[in-house]
Structure 1
Amino acid sequence: MGRWRLSRRKLLFLCVLCTSLLLFLHLPTSPHHFSLSPSSTLCLSRLHRISWTQSPSPAWSWAKSENCRFRRFSRKHASELLRGAWILAAGDSQARLVVLALLRLLLDPTEVSTVEPDLFRRHSDYHITLPDRGIRVDFIWAPYESNITWLLRDIRHTRHYPDLLILGSGLWHMLHITNPSLYGTALTEIKQEAVSLLEPSGSLHPHMFWLGLPKLVNSKLNTEEKKEKMTGNMLEAYNWEVKWRGMPKGSSGPFMLLDIGLLTRGCGPLCTLDGMHYDGAVYDAAVNIMLNSMLIESQ
């Protein structure tokens, strides 16, 4: 698949969609090549300001802002924005749920019902192409941080860069290794590999996102081992490692943070049945935040 380019049609569409933005989606996002204007930085900081309602089912909306025009993407608008793009997601079940939310945005409900069983085959990869829009979506099952590190090394060695890279891990580490310090060390390796994707001058760099850990509702976790190991204190320690190791851009890292923790806390404990995986509205909000951040960073 060719690299993602803005056609005249897409450029006209994006100008209408966000009249205040001049959009070239592959401007380098590395701090060495590109810096955001104060207004762009302000809008990025407000992207996660979400309001929630619970009746009749969980629903979200952005808090009002005089300076930022955030968009709730329709299928048409998302398809135009992502036309010709290769989207690569890797991680655990949270990443899989984000991919599902993205496909729900790109496909009609009948199509989603046919692809969902394949997407949720236990511990498996998933691949789909949308030929009419030239969109390719790959999900790689990568529950441990080392899986993601090796994936990034492969991307660097082959120089076959995705246009959009969505990564996240930590839940399996918390359950099976239960050591925040080792988790932080593994994150450092991921960060180093991700930064290396931004270094070649003149390259078209992927937009990179890191999925924060969800709020864990301990009383709803479905095994005693999870209740014992995946505590509030442990979650706080793992979240601290993400920030201290400098993963998000706000901490000089390469990733835009999709703060699943903040979104799940906002939606609340009624939004989860198993204390870990949340209602689809949470991941729909995350996808819309992601797409809006791409527009803002391309200003």
Structure 2
Amino acid sequence: MAWWHMSLNKTVFFICVLFIILSVGVHFTPNFSSISIISLLNGASPNYRNPCIDFLHSIEYKNRTECADRPVEKTWSWMQSRPRVATCEFKKLKKPDASVMLNRSWVVFAGDSQTRLGMISLLKLVELPERVRKVREDLAKLHTDYSTFVDSIGMKLDFKWKPYVRRLSKLMLEFKKNKKYPDIIVMGAGLWDMLYENNVSDYDASLRGLRNSLQDLNSKDRRVQPHLFWLGMPTLINSKLKTEEKRHNLTEPRRIRYDNTVNGSKLLNKFGGPCLKLDIQLLSELCGPQCTKDGLHYDEIVYDIAIQIMLNAMLIESTHKTHF
């Protein structure tokens, strides 16, 4: 039922914008000024096959002017200097636009602490600051599930603590068993597999099991299917890791090996799988070592960008479903 509401809201959203375009020319109403209907129509293609998807991670960081009383802050943008990126016309969605997209939807983030940071970034986009602060306080209790409800848009947001890939597979089976499916699922795990188990073969087997469970979840028999995303591991700064165990096990060469295992499992859309990757490794590397205090968890801007990439990808896919 949640998916039906989400699909209906998107349809109404795009029809309204198109009507305004036809009626008054190239101007949008204030609430939707950040979305270009032309880029969305041109970007329509099923299963994330539109070429613009390949350029979603083409971003660049910029430093704000340094002030004596506060540290340098980073901003970011898509690389408009690249003609293809400029043609795609990606937009940073603000609260009104994101709220329309996510109205009456069910969003699940499942995985480790990286995924939890992604959940916070999405919540920041649609919720009041004081509510976000409360959620941060609640999530200080590490290694727990969390659920909240954004009353203003009727959005349910869940975080499922599943730091091992095999636990993600079990979660997908629970959705299937209960016949209740989120509208959006963002997953990510691997750091705990590296840190505590260090068995690439088992990791590969778990990824393939997850891929199979997601393919069942995304059965063509279902009228509407979830948006599926894989939130990748970050660049690891070994010298900043806090414990000897982490410095020994969480190395960049090992991360690369685990990333290659994800690619080989065909979990990702790029390799024929069901998930679009949110490339935290690339986004964190571009931000640089100054963006992390512990060599593992990065500043909020990294996860904010990942959420913007996710929403832009959803707009491309949803436009195809609406207009074709």
Q: Same fold (TM over 0.5)?
A: yes
Tell me the distance in 2 between the aligned counterparts of 1:14 and 1:161. 28
Tell me the distance in 2 between the aligned counterparts of 1:144 and 1:54. 36
Is structure 2 residue 213 aligned with structure 1 residue 211? no
SS at match of 2:87: coil
> Aligned in 2, Cα 1:120/1:205: closer, same or farther, shift over 3 Å?
farther
1:147 CA displacement:
1.1
> Aligned in 2, Cα 1:95/1:35: closer, same or farther, shift over 3 Å?
closer
The one-letter amino acid of 1:171's match is L
Match of 1:43 in 2: 52
**Contact 1:217/1:269 (<8 A) preserved:** yes
Tell me the distance in 1 between the aligned counterparts of 2:201 and 2:122. 32
Tell me the distance in 1 between the aligned counterparts of 2:16 and 2:96. 10
The one-letter amino acid of 1:140's match is K
Match of 1:108 in 2: 128
**Contact 2:207/2:265 (<8 A) preserved:** yes
Match of 1:58 in 2: 74
Residue among 19, 38, 61 paired with 2:37:
19
SS at match of 1:293: helix
Count matched residues. 288
SS at match of 1:6: helix
> Aligned in 2, Cα 1:116/1:269: closer, same or farther, shift over 3 Å?
same
**Contact 1:50/1:63 (<8 A) preserved:** yes
Stretches of 4+ aligned residues off by more than 6 angstroms = none
Whichever of the two has the greater Rg, that structure is: 2
Tell me the distance in 1 between the aligned counterparts of 2:74 and 2:170. 37
5+ residue gaps in structure 1?
A: none
1:195 CA displacement:
0.8
Match of 2:283 in 1: 263
**Contact 2:127/2:150 (<8 A) preserved:** no
Tell me the distance in 2 between the aligned counterparts of 1:86 and 1:263. 26
Report percent identity of matched pairs: 36
Listed as ranges, the matches of 1:146-157 within 5 Å are 146-157=166-177
1:237 CA displacement:
0.4
**Contact 1:83/1:134 (<8 A) preserved:** yes
Backbone CA RMSD of aligned residues: 1.9
**Contact 1:58/1:279 (<8 A) preserved:** no
Moved more, 124-133 or 286-295: 124-133
**Contact 2:115/2:231 (<8 A) preserved:** yes
SS at match of 1:160: coil
5+ residue gaps in structure 2?
A: 19-27, 29-34, 65-71
1:270 CA displacement:
0.5
1:203 CA displacement:
2.6
Match of 1:5 in 2: 7
Is structure 2 residue 193 aligned with structure 1 residue 173? yes
Moved more, 140-149 or 91-100: 140-149
1:22 CA displacement:
5.1
Match of 2:248 in 1: 228
Per chain length, whose mean CA-contact separation is higher, i.e. which structure has more relative contact order (CA < 8 Å, sep 6+)? 1
> Aligned in 2, Cα 1:217/1:134: closer, same or farther, shift over 3 Å?
same
Tell me the distance in 2 between the aligned counterparts of 1:14 and 1:219. 50
1:12 CA displacement:
4.4
1:9 CA displacement:
5.0
The one-letter amino acid of 1:189's match is G
Tell me the distance in 1 between the aligned counterparts of 2:111 and 2:57. 22
Provide TM-score, normalisation by structure 2: 0.84
**Contact 2:292/2:298 (<8 A) preserved:** yes
The one-letter amino acid of 2:173's match is R
Listed as ranges, the matches of 1:88-127 within 5 Å are 88-127=108-147
